[in-house]
Amino acid sequence: MLPHIPFYFLRHGETDWNRRRVMQGHTDIALNDAGMRQARDLAPAVAALPIKTICASPLARARRTAELVNVNAAPIVTIDALKECCFGIYEGQDSGGDWRAAWMSGGAIEGGEKRADFIARVHGALAEALSHPGPVLIAAHGGTFWALEALLGETIHVQNCTLFELNPPAPGQKFWTSKQLACPAEPSLAIGQGVRG
CATH number at residue 144: 3.40.50.1240
Residue 112 burial by Cβ neighbours in a 10 Å radius (0-12, 13-18, 19+) = buried
Q: What is the pTM of this model?
A: 0.91
Query: What pLDDT does residue 195 have?
Result: 38
Catalytic residues: 12, 84
The confidence score (pLDDT) of residue 193 equals 45
Instruction: Measure the CA–CA gap between 43 and 65, rounded to whole angstroms.
Output: 9
Predicted local confidence at residue 80, as pLDDT: 97
Q: How far apart are CA 186 and CA 86, in angstroms?
A: 29
Number of compact structural domains in the chain? 1
**Does 1 reside within a domain?**
no
* 125 part of a folded domain: yes
Residue 187 in any domain: the answer is: no
Q: Which domain holds residue 140?
A: 7-182
Residue 196: predicted pLDDT: 40
d(CA 81, CA 97): 26
Residue 137 lies in a domain: yes
Residue 159 lies in a domain: yes
Report whether 181 contacts 2 (CB < 8 A).
Answer: no
Question: pLDDT under 70 in the chain at which residues?
Answer: 186-197
